[in-house]
Amino acid sequence: MAGSVLALLGSVPVLAAAPIPVERHRSMVPITRDNSELVNEQSYGLADGAVTAAPTAPVEELPAPPEPRANEPAATAPVAAELPPAQESVAAVPPAAEAVEPASSAEIATAGADRQRPVLELDVRCWLTELDMRGRVVRNNLGSDVNFVDQLGLGDENFADIRLTWNCNPTSSIRLAYNKIGFNGSRTISEKIDFNGKTYAANAWVGTDVDVENYRLAWLWQFHTADAGRLRVSSVLELKGFVADASLVAPALNISEAHDVAGALPTVGLAASYQVHPLVDLFGELTGIPAGSYGYFIDGEVGVKFAPQDHFSFIGGYRIFDLEAKDDPDYARLQFAGPFVGMTAWF
């Protein structure tokens, strides 16, 4: 039995003895002397879905390099001839001088804004006013409407307005202002006037004198800027005080009447300026207070400032001061309006 098995095994060909043809994969790396011990994983190809081993072809030995002769350097791999260092193709360019760019309009405006923000400003103006003054004062049931301009001959006057501003920080300013207004006139009245309980008969000569002193204390807070600092807007909180003295005399009627009044009004408003040129500013301000049935008060101005040099400027514009007070049956209306010119110095 054992002999028949051995005979059967002997009739089966040994697979390892005969080389199996394998189609060489394209990515196979030939085995040379340098990589004879490496086996590329791609040296196995797929043939009809079965993995077949690569044939073991004999490796051809490369001839050894000849022995160097005496006094002869050993042969080395050819080395590319050294090239001379490439010369710089671009000649050195001297550094260009720094170009001085012209200042932008924003920088000019900012510089101008800084220039116009000094510590102290002294503003002196001459106000060329037109007067509108009317009123009625009733005493002992005697009182009529009086037009102090048309009936009593008060005329237009010019007077000074002085302001001192302290810019205590970049956004806040304290301003103190003072002016004194004086009007006087005389006229032979053409009709009877009842004023403050006295009767001024027609054709009587009447002299009138009115003096008003104004005091103003304001706090301005700059809360908004725009257009690179050219536009600046501030709130204004101002206390306006006044002392008024009015008198009427009629020597032929043996009448001399004087009346004094003093008061103070808190007002609120806005102030704004816009720099149209490094030397030119437009400005405006409006303050006031409504008092309902008791009247109102408005003080406003617009103007232009021209600063040809540091610490000095010219100003000009238009201002209106309008006050109406009512306490039935009495009332008073006082309005000054007109252009102004002046100068500002800052330190």
Query: Comparing C-alpha atoms, which of 234, 221, 232, 237 is closest to residue 281?
Result: 232
Structure tokens at 102: 């012209």
**DSSP class of 95:** P
Condensed to tens digits (0 to 9), the pLDDT of residues 203-222 reads 999 999 989 899 999 999 99
Residues whose CB falls within 8 Å of the CB of residue 197, separated by 6 or more in sequence, listed in order: 138, 139, 140, 142, 143
**How many CB atoms neighbour CB 236 within 10 A?**
19
Q: What distances in angstroms separate CA 115 from CA 7, 108, 118, one per listed residue?
A: 122, 10, 7
* CA pair distance 96, 84, nearest whole angstrom: 32
Element (H, E) at 99: none
Please report the pLDDT score of residue 66 as a whole number.
59
pLDDT band for 50, please (50, 70, 90 cuts): very low
Which amino acid is present at 222? Q
Which pTM was predicted? 0.65
Long-range contacts of 230-233 (CB under 8 A, 24+ apart): 230/109, 230/113, 230/274, 230/275, 230/276, 231/272, 231/273, 231/274, 231/275, 232/113, 232/272, 232/273, 232/274, 233/270, 233/271, 233/272
Element (H, E) at 324: strand 312-327
Q: What distances in angstroms separate CA 34 from CA 66, 78, 214, one per listed residue?
A: 18, 19, 112
**DSSP class of 115:** H
pLDDT band for 340, please (50, 70, 90 cuts): very high
Structure tokens at 89: 């193709």
* CA pair distance 248, 259, nearest whole angstrom: 9
Q: Between residues 23 and 245, which one has the greater pLDDT?
A: 245
Please report the pLDDT score of residue 8 as a whole number.
42
* CA pair distance 44, 259, nearest whole angstrom: 127
Rg of the chain, C-alpha, whole Å: 54
Q: Between residues 259 and 42, which one has the greater pLDDT?
A: 259
**DSSP class of 139:** B
pLDDT band for 278, please (50, 70, 90 cuts): very high
The 3-state DSSP class for residue 308 equals: strand
* CA pair distance 340, 129, nearest whole angstrom: 8
* CA pair distance 46, 51, nearest whole angstrom: 5
Q: Between residues 50 and 229, which one has the greater pLDDT?
A: 229
Is pLDDT at 37 greater than 50 in this prediction? no
Is pLDDT at 173 greater than 60 in this prediction? yes
Condensed to tens digits (0 to 9), the pLDDT of residues 69-78 reads 555 555 554 5
Q: Between residues 268 and 42, which one has the greater pLDDT?
A: 268
Average pLDDT of the chain, as a whole number: 77
**DSSP class of 153:** -
Structure tokens at 329: 């049956």
Which domains are present in the chain? 21-52 (no CATH), 114-346 (2.40.128.90)
**How many CB atoms neighbour CB 203 within 10 A?**
10
pLDDT band for 140, please (50, 70, 90 cuts): confident
Under a CB-based contact definition with an 8 Å cutoff, are residues 259 and 143 in contact?
A: no
Condensed to tens digits (0 to 9), the pLDDT of residues 177-207 reads 999 988 889 999 999 998 888 899 999 999 9
Q: What distances in angstroms separate CA 20 from CA 47, 55, 56, one per listed residue?
A: 11, 7, 10
Alpha helix locations (H) across the chain?
Answer: 2-11, 105-115
Q: Between residues 328 and 87, which one has the greater pLDDT?
A: 328
pLDDT band for 35, please (50, 70, 90 cuts): very low
Name which of 35-49, 94-108, 245-259 the model is least confident about: 35-49
β-bridge partners, 297:
289, 323
